[in-house]
Amino acid sequence: MDRTKWLTIEELAEYLKMGRTKLYRMAQEGEIPASKVGNQWRFDRDRVDAWINEKMSVTNKHKAEY
């Protein structure tokens, strides 16, 4: 099993250079791909990477339109 595939909130915060509180809110509101295991959030690194790439491509597309 690849132990780096699933990230805790602390690991994701470090990975994305974001605050834990912001990430908790984003997970609860479905803004970021996440799974809840018991009372803890877990984040699939591959899905998070795909989500970031999608957000970046949308942002770059909007910039190109201006």
Question: Domain coordinates of the chain in residue numbers?
Answer: 6-65
Quick one: pLDDT at residue 55? 85
Mean pLDDT of 35-63: 87
Per-residue confidence band for 20, with pLDDT thresholds at 50, 70 and 90: very high
The answer, yes or no, to whether residue 5 has pLDDT greater than 70, is yes
% helix / strand / coil in the chain, to the nearest 5? 60, 15, 25
43 backbone dihedrals φ, ψ, rounded to 5°: -130, 125
Per-residue confidence band for 64, with pLDDT thresholds at 50, 70 and 90: low
What is the fold of 6-65? Molybdopterin biosynthesis moea protein, domain 2 (3.90.105)
* Neighbouring C-alpha atoms within 13 Å toward the C-beta of 15: 17
To which residue do tokens 């770059």 refer?
Answer: 60
Helix or strand (DSSP H, E) at 37: strand 35-37
Mean model confidence pLDDT for the chain: 88
Strand 35-37 relative to strand 6-7: parallel, antiparallel, unpaired?
Answer: unpaired
